[in-house]
């Protein structure tokens, strides 16, 4: 694994950096104040958005990672869609996390489709903007405890239940809904279904008012006798008790490094801005031991070290996905470290530069960063997953 940005990815990374600096930051405060308003400026950069996946939907994050056999395609190391998307996300989140989450055709549901859909489904759903509906009012961190049901009825499945905290749930073209075919069979019976927007029985009941990422819509959706064609069940309809929940959870192995990349990006923005604001007031000298520096300088040194660790862990998890190496533990490590680190860095930078007040984007980045330690699995859930992988325990053995 080489830590330098590969030549083929540098152009994408630079394109994302320019978008963050000259598009996202310019409209960041506007859509922070106008919560739930769609950022129409994103339509003007649609071509660049599609380019973030290397111009190849089959190479998108998650598409190359669905089968982790431990072997690469051609017997060599490769840098694919996961790494290129991670680097692009880091750059874009230096601008605005909420605007990234509002980018068309880049929803969490798209990663789920890439991870578990059949080749026919991937082709049929190409170019769609797919949200992901997992969390329920009585089910948060334990995704296996979902109560939304899917009953077979001829050529359709009938969905009943309620989902909350669906990112892009109102703006998307379709929603990937997790539901159980049979509660008695537990985790193994949980499947994901693509529900087209406008399907009778599917209703967006409310949009949440949030602390941060206000430019991104977060919806609650109800399903009442919602009929979904059987072809829209992602992957195999068979209930495999032996494999259980593993197939569905592969989605998170692909997306958690990308959420970590979001955290790394917003943390980098805060560090760079803090250095800029503090430069006239404290001298930053890396040759001098931290104890001999001012408190502000010593704090920045420590935060930069924490950021570097989160950055490297994120690259590792994404790289393992590109090379079809089992990365469940590493994805959780990256997500846990980056989520916690981003919150600490952004809040500490606000503390160090508090005199600059609300008008600076530092305070907004602090609000935006908190969600990155929560969604895609909370800090506590990540630590539990890591412990299970290290100790070789099942979810039943270590709760």
Instruction: List active site positions.
Output: 376
The torsion angles phi and psi of 214, rounded to 5 degrees, stand at: -70, -20
Q: Are 178 and 190 in contact (CB under 8 A)?
A: yes
β-partners of residue 203 are 222
Bridge partners of 305, per DSSP, are none
Longest CA–CA separation in the chain, Å: 74
Find, among 117, 111, 100, the residue nearest to 257 by Cα: 111
Kindly state the helix (H) or strand (E) to which residue 224 belongs, with its residue range. strand 218-229
Beta carbons of 79 and 59 less than 8 angstroms apart: no
CA distances (Å), 128 to each of 7, 103, 143, 164, in order?
29, 12, 25, 21
Report angle CA 24, 29, 34 to the nearest 5 degrees. Answer: 110
With tokens 């909350």, the residue in question is 164
Cα separation of 200 and 264, whole Å?
A: 40
At a CB cut-off of 8 Å and minimum separation 6, what does 291 contact?
298
**Separation CA 80–CA 88 (nearest Å):** 12
Which residues, other chains included, contact 247 with Cβ-Cβ below 8 Å and sequence gap of 6+? Answer: 116, 235, 240
CB 108 within 8 A of CB 131: yes
Q: How many CB atoms lie within 10 A of CB 96?
A: 32
């Amino acid at each position: 694994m080489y830590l330098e940005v590969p030549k083929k990815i540098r152009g994408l990374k630079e394109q994302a950096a320019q978008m963050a600096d000259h598009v996202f930051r310019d409209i960041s405060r506007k859509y922070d104040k106008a919560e739930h308003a769609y950022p129409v400026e994103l339509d003007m950069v649609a071509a660049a958005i599609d380019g973030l996946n290397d111009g190849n939907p089959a190479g998108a994050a998650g598409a190359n990672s669905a089968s982790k056999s431990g072997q690469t395609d051609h017997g060599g190391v490769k840098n694919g869609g996961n790494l290129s998307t991670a680097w692009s996300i880091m750059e874009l989140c230096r601008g605005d996390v909420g605007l990234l989450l509002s980018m068309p055709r880049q929803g969490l549901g798209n990663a789920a489709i890439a991870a578990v859909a059949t080749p026919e489904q991937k082709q049929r759903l190409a170019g769609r903007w797919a949200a992901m509906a997992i969390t329920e009012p009585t089910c948060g961190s334990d995704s296996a405890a979902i109560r939304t049901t899917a009953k077979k009825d001829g050529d359709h499945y009938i969905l009943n239940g309620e989902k909350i905290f669906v990112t892009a749930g109102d703006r998307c073209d379709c929603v990937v809904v997790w539901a159980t075919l049979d509660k008695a069979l537990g985790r193994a019976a949980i499947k994901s279904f693509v529900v087209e927007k406008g399907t009778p029985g599917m209703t967006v009941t409310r949009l949440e008012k949030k602390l941060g990422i206000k430019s991104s819509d977060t919806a609650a959706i109800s399903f009442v006798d919602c009929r979904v064609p059987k072809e829209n069940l992602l992957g195999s309809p068979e209930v495999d008790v032996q494999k259980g929940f593993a197939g569905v959870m592969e989605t998170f192995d692909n997306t958690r490094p990308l959420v970590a990349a979001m955290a790394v990006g917003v943390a980098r923005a805060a560090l760079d801005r803090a250095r800029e604001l503090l430069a006239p007031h404290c001298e930053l000298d890396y040759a001098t031991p931290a104890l001999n520096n001012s408190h502000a300088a010593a704090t920045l040194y420590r935060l930069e070290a924490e950021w570097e660790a989160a950055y490297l862990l994120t690259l590792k998890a994404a790289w393992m996905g590109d090379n079809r190496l089992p990365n469940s533990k590493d994805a959780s490590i990256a997500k846990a470290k980056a989520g916690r680190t981003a919150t600490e860095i952004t809040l500490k930078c606000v503390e160090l530069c508090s005199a600059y007040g609300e008008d600076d984007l530092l305070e907004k980045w602090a609000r935006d960063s908190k969600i990155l330690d929560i969604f895609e699995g909370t800090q506590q859930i990540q630590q539990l997953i890591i412990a299970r992988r290290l100790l070789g325990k099942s979810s039943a053995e270590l709760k």
